[in-house]
Amino acid sequence: QVTLKESGPGILQPSQTLSLTCTFSGFSLSTYGMGVGWIRQPSGKGLEWLANIWWDDDKYYNPSLKNRLTISKDTSNNQAFLKITNVDTADTATYYCARIVNYGSYWYFDFWGPGTMVTVSS
């Protein structure tokens, strides 16, 4: 059974660094082809892909967030992490992590965590 769960600070102030943790079970990030991605969703709005990390430590970032994102993983403890530097109110959203799988050359998220709400406010 695949499960993922996000954790974060809940609230933080502008200019701080947001640190998020995704703790998962039912799969390993050392398995060929596996990956974890981060996605966010402001309240009442659509989904925005942020970053992906793969079993081989390959990483991809959304360039719209420029150099503010850092994704990493701890394979031994079944965790993935996302840091966003210099946050502002526009970063207020629910943040999701999701497992990445592939069917041949088709890549997609199959299981998602319940999400963690993050509010940036002074």
Partner 1 sequence: DIQMTQSPASLSASLGETISIECRASEDIYSNLAWYQQKSGKSPQLLIYAANRLQDGVPSRFSGSGSGTQYSLKISGMQPEDEGDYFCLQGSKFPWTFGGGTKLELK
Provide, for the chain, the percentages of residues in helix, strand and coil under a 3-state DSSP scheme, each rounded to the nearest 5.
5, 55, 40
**Smallest distance, Å, CB 49 to partner 1?**
4
Map tokens 């966010």 to a residue: 40
**Smallest distance, Å, CB 40 to partner 1?**
11
Nearer to partner 1, 5 or 16 (CB): 5
* Cα–Cα dist 58/106, whole Å: 17
Q: One symbol per residue from 62 to 101: x for binding partner 1 (CB under 8 A), - otherwise; what is it?
A: xxx-------------------------------x-x---
47 contributes a contact to partner 1 by CB under 8 A: yes
In this structure, what token pair is assigned to residue 92?
């207020």
Nearer to partner 1, 30 or 64 (CB): 64
Q: What's the distance, CA 84 to chain centroid?
A: 10
108 contributes a contact to partner 1 by CB under 8 A: yes
**Smallest distance, Å, CB 122 to partner 1?**
27
Of 10-18, 59-67, 69-77, 81-89, the segment contacting partner 1 by CB under 8 A is: 59-67
In this structure, what token pair is assigned to residue 80?
């993935």
46 contributes a contact to partner 1 by CB under 8 A: yes
In this structure, what token pair is assigned to residue 119?
């509010």
* Cα–Cα dist 31/120, whole Å: 35
* Cα–Cα dist 111/103, whole Å: 14
